[in-house]
Amino acid sequence: MSLYDLPERPRRLRRTENIRRLSRETRLSTDNLIHPLFVKAGTNDRQEIGSMPGQYRLTVDQLVEEARELDALGIPGVALFPKIPDDRKTPDAKYATDADGLYPRAIRALKSEVPDLLVITDTALDPYNSDGHDGIVRDGDIDNDATLDVMRKIAVAHAEAGADIVAPSDMMDGRIGAIRDALDDAGHTSTALMSYTAKYASAYYGPFRDALDSAPRRREGVPVDKATYQMDPANSDEALRELRLDLQEGADFVMVKPALPYLDVIRRVKDHSDVPVVAYHVSGEYAMIKAASANGWLDEKAGALEALTAIHRGGADVILTYFAKQVAQWISES
């Protein structure tokens, strides 16, 4: 056996689990995780979402129970999304601003029963809009500024119900400034804003749209997709433009969504942001791991932890993920 005169041997730091622990550069922590949850009206059983095994549409009572468990596991917060029945959906998404609607009721229940758990609310119109878009449809297009008027009202209704963080996922121009202004006018200066800064027009939202029945409606006069407001997957400079605007307008957190296919964007946003960077590991990313592991094609735990660790390493300080509860359990067991 010959001995080579190698100036460096990187494998020395990979020799045992303890030396690997010692030289590990990033660590996934429960502190960084937010769990998205779905709430529905009524008192019947929770419904599992077909394309998202292990995720459910919950009644308000079940939501509170789930929140208690997440809180006990040390998860800092939940992002809430509503399943609105069809007969409540209208072209003006009016139900979104109803202070006694399902969503404000869910926020109030969470804040009264599990007060420390952060509630992150969604102000986009799509669950309430009979056209299935995040904005008001007018003459075959999305009316940006009419949408902002509605978003301001929704944000104030959420803050009034107790939301800790308001998170607009709509990608209208100027919404961070408009919502900040509306919240401040109403005295909610402490309610934080988490902007979906670089939200891409992605195929990976499919299971989420199943969960909420919120896909754009195939109908004359309704844009077929969200490409006039969500970003083109081919772009990354544009993410920095959105970042600049969001920071100027007062965003407290900035998000990139989806996560794993956009690690380069996460890194660029992280390098240019002086507020925490969030990544949304979306429904389709979750579904892929679930489906492959259900078929025995990859190991669920290893696959999920690798994906989330990579997103954290890529620059995300916070990750929204449907795996949050499982990861918190895995971390507490290890």
Q: Residues comprising the binding site for Mg(2+)?
A: 242
Question: Does residue 200 belong to the site contacting ligand PBG (CB under 6 A)?
Answer: no
Whether the Cβ atoms of residue 275 and residue 254 lie closer than 8 Å to each other: yes
Choosing from 169, 191, 197, 273, the residue that interacts with ligand PBG (CB under 6 A) is 169
Question: Does residue 55 belong to the site contacting ligand PBG (CB under 6 A)?
Answer: no
Question: Does residue 192 belong to the site contacting ligand PBG (CB under 6 A)?
Answer: no
CB of 49 to ligand PBG, least distance (A): 11
What binding mask, one character per residue, do residues 215-254 give for ligand PBG by CB under 6 A, x or -? -----------x----------------------------
Question: Does residue 129 belong to the site contacting ligand PBG (CB under 6 A)?
Answer: no
- Report how far residue 107's alpha carbon sits from residue 118's, in angstroms, rounded to the nearest whole number: 10
SS3 257: strand
Where are any strands of DSSP class E within the chain?
A: 33-40, 47-48, 56-58, 77-83, 118-122, 136-138, 141-143, 165-167, 192-199, 253-257, 277-281, 318-321
- Report how far residue 43's alpha carbon sits from residue 155's, in angstroms, rounded to the nearest whole number: 26
Choosing from 71, 134, 164, 242, the residue that interacts with ligand PBG (CB under 6 A) is 134
Question: Does residue 208 belong to the site contacting ligand PBG (CB under 6 A)?
Answer: yes
Choosing from 59, 191, 283, 321, the residue that interacts with ligand PBG (CB under 6 A) is 283
Q: How many C-beta atoms surround the C-beta of residue 201 within 10 A?
A: 15
- The alpha carbon of 137 is separated from its chain's Cα centroid by a whole number of angstroms, namely 24
Kindly list the catalytic residues.
199, 257
Choosing from 96, 159, 282, 319, the residue that interacts with ligand PBG (CB under 6 A) is 282
Choosing from 209, 270, 272, 313, the residue that interacts with ligand PBG (CB under 6 A) is 209
Whether the Cβ atoms of residue 151 and residue 172 lie closer than 8 Å to each other: yes
Question: Does residue 197 belong to the site contacting ligand PBG (CB under 6 A)?
Answer: no
Residue with the two structure tokens 């290890």: 334
Residues at the site binding ligand PBG, with contacts judged by CB under 6 A: 122, 124, 126, 134, 169-170, 205, 208-209, 226, 282-283
